């Protein structure tokens, strides 16, 4: 099959960084990686347990608020991204272990498929002939985040996620009509081992959550499904959009400098932890080998090479202006 993509070499500009600083910031830590991974799971376990406790006590308002918060935290999925880079842990098998744990928790996101695409995204960031993970320029006004604030429950998303999981078990990827041209392209160019991993990850995710559902229903604890399997389809997704979508929208495609095609923003410490520090997105793209927990220190020690990170308000103001220009239609009169 002929795909509309080709590898175009990009001579990326990278600022000169002191070797000692770079060496220190490239250092990986099993302890820091474990604290981040376990900390994320602990936050989700806390909000889920809180919702379940309110449910048992028939405190419906408390249950709804806890579920909203639970879904809000679940919407952040940067762990799939960071673990695909293999930089979280010094010990390789720990990275693999946590990648598989989070693959089961966030069962709609297949890390093996994601890795196939994301390598291209880093090599050819916003170069449309060579990557289709992030296609820009694209309009994304503030109404996008507002729309996600209104859609608190997404039952159709759940049904389609289950359909996609089952469909992918029986239909070869190249003929899978639920996949776009870009993902078929990266799948076709992946190794046989990578394709096998993607297939069995998908099967494992579906099997585990089907098993959880059966066990929960047969033991009379059906609400477990709500807090374990369904959080990806309810809650305050607008928080995720407000932060995550600032990565590239409104920046320049087809350039050779990550400082032009990416954006870094300022976040509070808790949001930064949930986001696995990906708000330092310019720095991450320029030097993707730096573990996420070292990005803040790296930025501070090399700040002369970067723009001052924008606030979320500044970022969305720029994104709004960019979107209006793209969507503007002149009056023919």
| Global confidence as pTM | 0.93
Residue with tokens 């954006």: 263
Domain range summary for the chain, segments of one domain joined by +: 26-324
Give the pLDDT of residue 145: 74
Q: pLDDT at position 142, please? A: 85
Residue that has been written with the tokens 């696995």 in this structure: 276
What is the C-alpha separation between 141 and 164, in angstroms, rounded? 29
Report helix, strand or coil for 14: coil
Residue 71 CA to residue 64 CA, distance in Å, equals: 11
Task: Output the pLDDT for position 150.
Answer: 78
Residue 237: predicted pLDDT: 87
**What is the phi/psi pair of residue 165, to 5°?**
-60, -45
10 Å Cβ neighbour count for 331?
Answer: 4
pLDDT at 330: 81
What pLDDT, on the 0 to 100 scale, is given for residue 210? 97
Give the position of tokens 């999981």.
Answer: 165
Which mean pLDDT values do the consecutive 10-residue runs of the chain (333 residues) have? 91 96 97 97 98 98 97 92 95 96 96 95 97 94 79 93 96 90 95 96 97 98 98 92 94 97 97 97 98 97 97 96 89 76
Tokens 């607008």 map to which residue?
Answer: 238
pLDDT at 77: 87
The residues, ordered by sequence, that sit 6+ positions from 75 with a Cβ below 8 Å of its Cβ are 232, 235, 236, 237, 239, 240
Separation CA 85–CA 73 (nearest Å): 22
**Long-range CB pairs of 115-119, under 8 A, 24+ apart, other chains included:** 115/84, 115/194, 116/183, 116/186, 116/187, 116/189, 116/190, 116/194, 116/198, 117/182, 117/183, 117/186, 118/81, 118/84
- The CA–CA distances, whole Å, from 256 to 220, 317, 319 equal 57, 24, 21
Residue at token pair 């600083």: 21
- How far is residue 158's CA from residue 187's CA, in Å, rounded to a whole number? 24
Tokens for 251?
Answer: 């920046």
Q: What is the pLDDT of residue 144?
A: 77
First and final C-alpha spacing in the chain: 46
């Amino acid at each position: 099959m002929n795909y509309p993509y080709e590898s175009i070499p990009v001579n990326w500009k990278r600022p000169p960084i002191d070797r000692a600083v770079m060496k220190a910031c490239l250092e990986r830590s099993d302890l820091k990686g474990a604290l981040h991974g376990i900390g994320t799971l602990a936050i989700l376990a806390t909000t889920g347990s809180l919702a379940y406790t309110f449910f048992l006590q028939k405190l419906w308002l408390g249950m709804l608020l806890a579920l909203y918060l639970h879904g809000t935290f679940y919407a952040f999925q940067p762990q799939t991204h960071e673990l695909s880079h293999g930089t979280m842990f010094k010990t390789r098998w720990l990275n693999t272990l946590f990648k598989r744990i989070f693959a089961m928790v966030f069962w709609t996101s297949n890390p093996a498929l994601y890795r196939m695409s994301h390598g291209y995204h880093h090599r050819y960031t916003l170069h449309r002939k060579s990557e289709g993970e992030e296609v820009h320029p694209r309009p994304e006004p503030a109404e996008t985040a507002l729309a996600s604030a209104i859609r608190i429950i997404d039952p159709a998303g759940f049904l389609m996620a289950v359909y996609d999981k089952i469909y992918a078990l029986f239909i070869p990827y190249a003929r899978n009509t639920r996949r776009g041209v870009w993902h078929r392209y990266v799948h076709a160019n992946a190794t046989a081992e990578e394709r096998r991993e993607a297939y069995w990850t998908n099967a494992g995710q579906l099997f585990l959550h089907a098993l959880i559902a059966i066990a929960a229903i047969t033991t009379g604890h059906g609400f477990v499904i709500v807090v374990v399997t369904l959080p990806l389809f309810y809650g305050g997704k607008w928080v995720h959009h407000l932060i995550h979508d600032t990565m590239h929208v409104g920046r320049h495609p087809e350039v050779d400098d990550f400082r032009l095609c990416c954006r870094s923003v300022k976040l509070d410490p808790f949001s930064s932890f949930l986001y696995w520090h990906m708000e330092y997105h310019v720095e991450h793209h320029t030097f993707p080998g730096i573990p996420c927990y070292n990005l803040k220190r790296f930025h501070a020690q090399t700040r002369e090479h970067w723009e001052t990170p924008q606030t979320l308000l500044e970022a969305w103001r720029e994104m709004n202006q960019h979107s209006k220009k793209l969507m503007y239609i002149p009056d023919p009169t």
